Chains A and B, each alone.
Chain A
Amino acid sequence: MAMSQTKMAVAEADGVLESAVSTRNISKNYGEVEALRDLSLEFPRGQLTSLLGPSGCGKTTLLKIIAGLLEPTSGEVEVNGSKVTGPGPDRAFVFQDFALLPWASVIRNVSFGLEMRGVAKSEREAIAERYIREVGLAGFEHAYPHELSGGMRQRVGLARALSVDSQVLLMDEPFSAVDEQTRRKFQEDLLGLVQNENKTFIFVTHSIEEAVYVSDQIAILLPRPSRVSEIIRPSGFRNKGVDNIRRDPEYLDIVDEIWASLRTYVE
């Protein structure tokens, strides 16, 4: 907590935040469909940025472009100052549909990223075990994905992304498949991760409350062709403790404000 306050203070004193990821003038067309148009956005290091916007506005597309899984029609992405040309060890992806290997046990799934990076079996399993414990799945190392609940599978996906120790974590609606209680627990855990891991998080969500609850920065995307319409940086309530955020007047104001600007697109 203390460290994070210092981080904030330094950042605010400088007036600018160092970007871990920048997207510049990104456009993406799928044939006739123009998904993104001239989108530019900075993702400050060590912080969590949410992408919030109506369904089909191109959030997944943007995330996959940052991941290097999709190529933009024009524009470029920089991660730590170098141009993205494909997937790299500096980024890890948490998939909305988990993307677990159904034929592999939890521990093999979690260590898959390390396996691809050529880490020796005993070493990667030791690392995987640690992250399995960290996401609360101790005892399920040798279970198979079909034996787990949706929430547990999501944790496996999260542990896999964490275990490769990338600086940037790309999360595509990671909590959409879990029930409300689990979702709140995950949100609290995520805040803990952002505090402790010193990683840059890029987080896609549909939920305004969720975005305001977990984010240092919220980018609101407009419907197709998508640009950033607004950037909101909640700052006042971040350090008041996880239990108080939802009661904080600033939290409630921001939720209302975002709803006001998004509702026109829903009607």
Chain B
Amino acid sequence: MKLFGYRLPGMSSLIIWGLLWEIVGQLGLTFFVPPLSEVIVTLYEVIQTSAFQKALFETAYAFLAGVFFAIIIGIPTGILMGRTRLLDELLLPWVNVFLSAPLTALVPVLMVLFGFGMKAIIITTTLFAIWIIILNSRAGVKQINRSLVEMAHSFGASPTDAFFKIYLWAALPEILGGVRIGIIRAVKGVIIGQLLISIVGFGALFELYSANFLMGHFWAVLIVLFALAFTISEFLAYLERRVAYYAAKR
């Protein structure tokens, strides 16, 4: 972005929105939007409380575990679907259904199946993230250059070699894209899980703050959550750029 001939650093637009927020807050139009400066002061206080740190830990735990399972199951499933016609025809309709299904509606079923604890929250997180990871890994494998596969075969590559040295790498740009979107969905999944299944972690904080009209606290936690999700997603975007040099030339 350029302003009066000066190049502005990335995300400068955030300053404008921040200012707007501050002004709306200072005008006192609604209790719902306290001034940004107040939110930031609250943020600083909130971060030091043990309630917050416990919530952060619980959320991070469920989130990381959920994402871990989504990746560890999603990528191989997607790659196998891309490789074997039968598996693809069996699973693809389900993947598509779950990708677009309102998963929130499934959460009560998960509660019945897996109880009200961490386990159900982790599974919810995984369910939010996994489908796009599967679909992207599958797409990555589908576009693989046939002659790379033949090349590996002709030099005697074992199925494991072919998986780790050809398919995984060839599909990596798509896989990383899928993981990035999957992780953004997982953030949604973990919070919804925490709100619906058992009131723990950030979900509990949101519940507590909004029930007591502590909007400063509410926004502070939301900012933390956004910042975390944004950082992870930017990190994955960075990884994606690292493999972009060959993405167009496979």
Question: Are A116 and B156 closer than 8 Å at their CB atoms?
Answer: yes
A72: min CB distance to chain B, Å? 16
Q: Which of A64, A112, A144 contacts B155, CB < 8 Å?
A: A112
Q: A102-B246, A102-B249, A144-B245 are in contact. Are A69 and B156 (CB under 8 A)?
A: no
Q: Which of B151, B156, B246 contacts A144, CB < 8 Å?
A: B246
A164: min CB distance to chain B, Å? 7
Segment with Cβ contacts to A, from B12-20, B127-135, B142-150: B142-150
Q: Which of B154, B156, B161, B169 contacts A103, CB < 8 Å?
A: B169
* Residues in A whose Cβ lies below 8 Å from that of B249: 102, 145-146
A30: min CB distance to chain B, Å? 15
In this complex, the interface size class of chain B, counting residues with CB under 8 Å from chain A, is 20 to 34
Q: A101-B169, A103-B172, A116-B161 are in contact. Are A67 and B156 (CB under 8 A)?
A: no
Please, what's the 1-or-0 string for A132-155, where 1 marks a CB less than 8 Å from any CB in chain B? 000000000000111000000000
Bound complex: CA A95 to CA B166 (Å)? 16
Please report whether the interface of chain A is mostly helix, strand, loop or mixed according to DSSP. Answer: loop
Task: Give the residue name and chain of the B residue nearest to A157 (CB).
Answer: B151
Please, what's the 1-or-0 string for B67-100, where 1 marks a CB less than 8 Å from any CB in chain A? 0000000000000000000000000000000000
The verdict on B243 contacting chain A, using a C-beta distance below 8 Å, is: yes
* Residues in A whose Cβ lies below 8 Å from that of B33: none
Bound complex: CA A87 to CA B151 (Å)? 10
Question: Are B246 and A116 closer than 8 Å at their CB atoms?
Answer: no
The verdict on B153 contacting chain A, using a C-beta distance below 8 Å, is: yes
Q: Which of A89, A99, A112, A115 contacts B145, CB < 8 Å?
A: A99
Task: Give the residue name and chain of the B residue nearest to A86 (CB).
Answer: B153
A-B interface contact total, Cβ < 8 Å: 59
Question: Are B147 and A99 closer than 8 Å at their CB atoms?
Answer: yes
The verdict on A92 contacting chain B, using a C-beta distance below 8 Å, is: yes
Bound complex: CA A89 to CA B250 (Å)? 26
The verdict on B181 contacting chain A, using a C-beta distance below 8 Å, is: no
Q: Specify which of A69, A99, A144 lies most central, judged by the most chain B CB atoms within 10 Å of its CB.
A: A99
Task: Give the residue name and chain of the A residue nearest to B248 (CB).
Answer: A146
Bound complex: CA A144 to CA B169 (Å)? 15
The verdict on B65 contacting chain A, using a C-beta distance below 8 Å, is: no
Show 29 residue pairs from A and B whose CB-CB distance is below 8 angstroms, ordered by the A residue: A64-B150, A67-B154, A69-B153, A87-B153, A87-B154, A87-B155, A88-B156, A91-B154, A92-B154, A93-B150, A95-B150, A97-B145, A99-B145, A99-B148, A101-B148, A101-B165, A102-B249, A103-B243, A103-B246, A112-B152, A112-B155, A113-B155, A115-B165, A116-B152, A116-B161, A144-B245, A146-B245, A146-B249, A164-B155
Other A-B pairs beyond A69-B153, A87-B155, 19, CB < 8 Å: A87-B154, A91-B154, A93-B150, A95-B147, A95-B151, A97-B145, A99-B145, A99-B147, A99-B150, A101-B165, A101-B166, A112-B152, A112-B155, A117-B156, A144-B245, A144-B246, A145-B249, A146-B245, A164-B155
The 3 A-B pairs of least Cβ separation, nearest first, read A102-B246, A99-B151, A113-B155
